[in-house]
Chain A
């Protein structure tokens, strides 16, 4: 029997609160050893979906397979979860908190202690181990929560806004830890509004809005799908009329060329190279940022709804 390459499979899950359809027939998969981005505007149904995956709330319909089967108590020890609404016991010490949460994830006390010590040293929290949680700074607290969620080396890690409250240095530390876990084979599902982090870290994404899937698949493909038909060029010489170009804008010493429909950048490059009066020094396809895609997709939906209304 071949083992599934999926760490998480979600099929047609739905959840309704009173009259609000929080999640509507949502399906997606997360592969082992990938960082998967779960995106969506506020209130899109991300947290509800995560809570259904973690069996905190039950879906009204649909199936969820976590690490090869339905969620069981044994599966819970193979999952790490950093919720958006997070908090630790403020009257406990940092080390005591990690020992407690580690043991709840089925680590022995000795293993929990060894792991906690290693993580605290790596994240430069060792000197704060005997401080109460209430005495920690926001950044320290955030790092402590991350350790608590991952110290048992889970196979599926779900992190909700993992970088909020972190300065760039600490964000880099957490990012490296996530990479290390991914390289170990863990599947990581990351929900965040920080699009640059998604662009940097995620191989595939799911964008949901109003509980439904809007975009889903490899990030590269999605970006290609939304790529504007434009290129930027730096060149020597003066550029006049170029066949296949609809509009030409001079920009920072170079040009941005908006291509006519059906014209491929490769064709344009050939045309430019064959023009004797100019020498092409840089030719680059203009990529659409994820941020732009997000705004375009979600914004379009909002505009459509307003139009319908």
Chain B
């Protein structure tokens, strides 16, 4: 185990210092955070300009000031659109809201301005509407009216919570996002693993290393190191994505009210880790079988496409998430993590299926390490050459 760890940490340290890895790992989340921060900054950072409004219904109260967070929106009521337009043209107001005659019958109100108002002004305009409709009610009632449908539903018989609204979205989104993250990790990780192995072969360092430890230890160490690397990458992306999500949606959804779907996360980890290991082991085998980097990339690409395969079957799976195809793919080790997670997003997957899937996946992982260790023995010293099928068979016979 000590040697496996030594290989893993050395692989990790060597790769994490490469410029391309640092760029890919940190560049993407920085872009995500910037993208997420734009609406946040617009919502938080902008001052509230003076605006006007025209009440064509004649039923709204006159409101000239609306407090929003740490600022106050100042409004001027105009008798008609022409007056509001003149004030706008003279620069007295930054824009004007027109509440049409049919507003209470469902006709939308419109805000006229030079550019789209910031998030803070949008929130302030909605607060104004509430206040203008209910001028005499206390502020806490108006605040509650902003989100009265954020309910929790409970099944009467079982007492289990049936979530709804944004929580439902999270319940679906978390396993789906986890499955997608897994697919991306497999796709990028398989490529990295394959090229790492062929580079190792090209540098001709294996012959010396392999006389210090067993091939299976070398395979396990390499795979562990590359997996830690992928986890680092995906972890940084997840943190970046999480920050971007909170920044982007904090003005729309009360993030604190969303519950974390622990079951999906746990199974995501339980299936995702050995699933990723399995792909990494197979990719390392393909990498060492390849004759050069280009061939390794192609072979790893095929494996990566296989990892993404469940995405192509989504239509079938959504129609029958408990059907034989879905259950079968949950048991097949190469599709188990993704299909298992997608099904969890759609239906209640029986626990026995998840446990059976995990058991098959783990057994396949052990078998694949054995297999690849034998391929290693035969292929690692074939500098600049690919392993031919006959040689592969001979390697597997030499147990």
Contact = CB atoms under 8 A, between A and B. Distances in A.
Interface of A: 18, 51, 54-58, 73, 76-77, 79, 81-83, 85-92, 100-101, 103-105, 145, 148-149
A88 B205 contact: yes
Contact of B204 (A86, A92, A149): A86
B213 A85 contact: no
Nearest to B200: A89
Contact of B209 (A58, A91, A92, A104): A104
Contacts of B7: 104
Contacts of B203: 87-90
A205 B132 CA distance: 105
B211 A81 contact: yes
A76 B218 CA distance: 14
Contact of B398 (A58, A83, A103): A58
B22 to A, nearest CB: 14
B6 A87 contact: no
Given A76-B211, A89-B14, A105-B212, A56 B204 contact: no
A87 B377 contact: no
A18 B383 CA distance: 18
B204 A87 contact: yes
Contact of A148 (B208, B214, B390, B398): B208
Given A85-B383, A86-B208, A91-B14, A56 B213 contact: no
A149 B398 CA distance: 27
Contacts of A145: 208
Nearest to A148: B208
B207 interface: yes
Among B10, B18, B213, B398: residue with most chain A CB under 10 A: B10
Given A18-B390, A73-B213, A104 B3 contact: yes
B208 A79 contact: no
5 contacts: A76-B211, A85-B204, A87-B203, A91-B17, A91-B18
A90 B200 CA distance: 10
A81 to B, nearest CB: 5
B208 A57 contact: no
A202 to B, nearest CB: 22
Among A58, A77, A104, A149: residue with most chain B CB under 10 A: A104
B94 interface: no
B265 interface: no
Given A86-B204, A104-B3, A76 B398 contact: no
B371 interface: no
Given A103-B6, A104-B3, A77 B204 contact: no
Nearest to A149: B208
Given A56-B377, A87-B205, 10 more contacts: A56-B207, A76-B213, A82-B208, A86-B204, A89-B14, A91-B18, A104-B6, A104-B7, A104-B213, A148-B208
B210 interface: yes
Nearest to A60: B398
B305 interface: no
B211 A54 contact: yes
Given A58-B398, A73-B213, A89 B205 contact: yes
A130 B54 CA distance: 75
Contact of B14 (A51, A76, A92): A92
Nearest to A90: B203
B12 to A, nearest CB: 12
B211 A100 contact: no
Top 9 closest A-B pairs, CB basis?
A: A87-B204, A104-B212, A83-B207, A87-B203, A58-B398, A81-B211, A87-B205, A85-B204, A54-B211
Contacts of B18: 91
A301 B163 CA distance: 86
A271 to B, nearest CB: 58
A55 B381 CA distance: 13
Contacts of B209: 101, 104
A73 B207 contact: no
A54 B214 CA distance: 11
Among B14, B207, B211: residue with most chain A CB under 10 A: B211
Contacts of B383: 85
Contacts of B211: 54-56, 76, 79, 81
Contacts of A100: 6, 10
Contact of B377 (A57, A76, A92, A148): A57
A76 B212 contact: yes
Given A58-B398, A104-B6, A86 B212 contact: no
Among B7, B17, B207: residue with most chain A CB under 10 A: B207
Contacts of A85: 204, 207, 381, 383
A89 B209 CA distance: 11
A104 to B, nearest CB: 4
A79 B398 CA distance: 23
A81 B205 CA distance: 12
A48 to B, nearest CB: 10
Contacts of A56: 207, 210-211, 377, 381
A145 B211 CA distance: 14
B374 to A, nearest CB: 10
A18 B378 CA distance: 14
A260 to B, nearest CB: 53
A86 B17 CA distance: 24
B378 to A, nearest CB: 8
Contacts of A81: 207-208, 211
A18 B10 CA distance: 37
A220 to B, nearest CB: 32
A83 B208 contact: yes
A86 B14 contact: no
Interface string B350-391: 000000000000000000000000000110010100000010
Nearest to B11: A89
A149 B207 CA distance: 11
Nearest to B388: A18
A41 B212 CA distance: 28
B220 to A, nearest CB: 14
Contact of A86 (B207, B377, B390, B398): B207
A138 to B, nearest CB: 14
B214 A73 contact: yes
Given A92-B14, A101-B212, A51 B381 contact: yes
